[in-house]
């Protein structure tokens, strides 16, 4: 008696109903007329067919199709069918579900090849691939390729195309079905990975040494270097042990302190804590033929899960050629071409840098060769140049490694003694210079007698910058000249009387 009654459905002209019993079984009920001798309907005939398995199969198929559709949407995959006779492409995930469409969201694209090429959907570099895909889709059972196409956002996208050929009963190809998926992100990651691999290969091609270490655990994780055998080290050794051994055996003495200060374990851990992720240093290292080569060392600091240990990747690159070229150019710019000493500009820069440090006692010497003009006039300027070279060499041999020695021009020389303990040391050094540089210079078979005069100013008492120290040591030099040359004088701002000077006559050591 209900509207869903099978007889009422029949009378309304609807299809047969499927009834479900409480036990889960399903039956398809069909109704037909039973007519009497006069053709009138006198009853209904009901035919019930059990369709339990069919119904379950249809439900499973519908659920599977829905899962497949959702999966295609989430993976950005578009399903399509290409009719070979008409050249028409039909896309199935049209409308709002057209996620990942390689071309556009039209459900049907007529004359596929001409339409896409005319509209500029296919990237010029991918046109030959697209045309080959249309040919091979007919000739081959299955084809996989990658194209670059213009997306709905106007940008170029990489898409992966998979196609399968469908034949009729006679084996004639009638259509091609397939899927297309946007793989732009994967392609970019692939290109980035390739670039990184190329970068690493370039780095390793001229690597002197590379190794990885866990700083938190103070352990070398991996080492790849011809120096490993030389050092007697292997993966698993302590990082602190590696640094200590390498610094002592492979680093130039002048650079050992800087190398250890920057690359010891505690220094790198501190650098990471301060937010730095790279530590760099250029230094001299023992090369393959036991010669010293310039090396650029880089430590890259990272934090590695799951324990969040601080690790470092250290790469040492051979920069000997470019470094020596750079040093040669720098030396040319900083040095006096005749004597090889610093020039005026460099001396000024170095003195100013030294004076910017912590306050300490320093001494500035301004000096020249007595009667040098007469030497040039008598023997010529080429002979005078050789005198200057000889004089500069003797002067350099009497100074400490950290002292600054410059030729300011002509026969004028400037000396800067940094960090002396007391004034007496500077006075003794001035006395030593005057006595050592006084004497006979055998040059080209000529016995040339030379002496020098020297003026002294102290920092910070007499001046705290290069210009002041230069002027006041030059004033003291002028006073030494007035005292008869062949001596040294202290700067005296009162100019009342000359300070104690070195004796004019030779004094025994």
The string of pLDDT tens digits covering residues 329-357 is 777 788 999 999 999 999 999 999 999 87
d(CA 451, CA 449): 7
* DSSP codes joined into one string, 163-211: EEEEE-TTS-EEEEEEEEEE-HHHHHHHHHHHHHHHHHHHHHHTEEEEE
State residue 496's pLDDT score.
42
> Which pairs count as long-range contacts for 376-385, CB under 8 Å and 24+ apart, including other chains?
379/446, 379/448, 383/443, 383/444, 383/446, 385/338
User: Pick from 403, 334, 459, 433: which is nearest to 467 by CA?
Assistant: 459
State residue 178's pLDDT score.
85
Helical segments of 232-359, H only: 239-250, 256-263, 265-273, 320-334, 344-355
Residues of the chain with pLDDT under 70: 1, 3-4, 61-76, 93-105, 196-208, 224-230, 234-235, 288-289, 495-509
d(CA 32, CA 44): 6
- Strands across the sheet with 452-459, in order? 404-409, 412-417, 362-369, 452-459, 488-490
| Cβ–Cβ under 8 Å, residues 167 and 139 | no
State residue 183's pLDDT score.
86
Question: Can you give the pTM of this predicted structure?
Answer: 0.46
- CB under 8 Å to 475, separation ≥6 — which residues? 455, 491
Count helices and strands (H / E) in the chain: 15, 21
Terminal-to-terminal C-alpha distance of the chain: 139
State residue 473's pLDDT score.
96
Burial class (CB in 10 A: 0-12, 13-18, 19+), 506: exposed
């Amino acid at each position: 008696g209900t509207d869903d009654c099978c007889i009422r459905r029949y009378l309304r002209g609807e299809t047969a109903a499927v009834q479900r019993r409480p036990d889960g079984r399903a039956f398809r009920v069909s109704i037909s007329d039973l007519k009497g001798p006069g053709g009138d309907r006198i009853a209904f005939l009901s035919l019930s067919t059990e369709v339990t398995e069919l119904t379950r199969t249809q439900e499973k198929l519908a659920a599977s199709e829905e899962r497949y559709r959702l999966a295609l949407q989430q993976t950005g995959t578009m399903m399509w069918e290409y009719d070979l006779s008409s050249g028409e492409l039909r896309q199935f995930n049209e409308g709002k579900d057209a996620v990942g469409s390689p071309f556009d969201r039209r459900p049907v694209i007529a004359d596929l090849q001409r339409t896409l090429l005319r509209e500029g959907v296919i990237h010029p570099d991918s046109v030959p691939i697209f045309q080959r895909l249309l040919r091979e889709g007919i000739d081959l059972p299955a084809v996989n390729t990658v194209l670059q196409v213009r997306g709905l956002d106007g940008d170029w996208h990489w898409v992966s195309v998979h196609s399968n050929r469908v034949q009729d009963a006679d084996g004639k190809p009638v259509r091609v079905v397939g899927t297309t998926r946007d793989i732009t992100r994967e392609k970019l990651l692939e290109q980035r990975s390739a670039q990184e691999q190329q970068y690493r290969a370039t780095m390793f091609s001229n690597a002197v040494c590379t190794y990885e270490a866990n700083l938190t655990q103070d352990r070398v994780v991996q080492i790849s270097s011809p120096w490993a055998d030389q050092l007697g080290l292997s993966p698993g050794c302590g990082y602190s042990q590696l640094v200590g051994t390498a610094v002592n055996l492979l680093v130039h003495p002048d650079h050992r302190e800087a190398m250890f200060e920057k690359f010891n374990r505690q220094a790198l851990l501190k650098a990471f804590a301060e937010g730095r992720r790279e530590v760099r240093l250029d230094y001299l290292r023992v090369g393959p033929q036991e010669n010293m080569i310039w090396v650029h060392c880089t430590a890259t600091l990272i934090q590695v899960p799951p324990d969040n240990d601080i690790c470092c990747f250290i790469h040492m690159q051979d920069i000997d050629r470019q470094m020596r070229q750079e040093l040669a150019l720098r030396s040319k710019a900083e040095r006096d071409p005749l004597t090889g000493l610093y020039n005026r500009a460099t001396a000024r820069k170095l003195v100013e840098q030294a004076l910017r440090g912590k306050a300490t006692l320093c001494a500035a010497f301004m000096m020249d060769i007595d009667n040098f003009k007469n030497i040039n006039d008598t023997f010529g300027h080429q002979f005078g140049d050789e005198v200057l070279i000889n004089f500069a060499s003797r002067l350099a041999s009497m100074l400490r490694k950290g002292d600054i020695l410059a030729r300011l021009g002509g026969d004028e020389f400037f000396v800067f003694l940094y960090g002396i303990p007391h004034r007496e040391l500077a006075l003794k050094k001035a006395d030593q210079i005057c006595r050592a540089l006084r004497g006979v210079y055998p040059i080209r078979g000529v016995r040339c007698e030379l002496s020098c005069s020297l003026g002294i100013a102290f920092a910070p008492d007499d001046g705290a910058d290069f210009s002041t120290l230069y002027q006041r040591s030059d004033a003291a030099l002028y006073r030494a000249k007035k005292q008869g040359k062949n001596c040294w004088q202290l700067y005296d701002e009162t100019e009342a009387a000359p300070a104690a000077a070195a004796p004019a006559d030779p004094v025994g050591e």
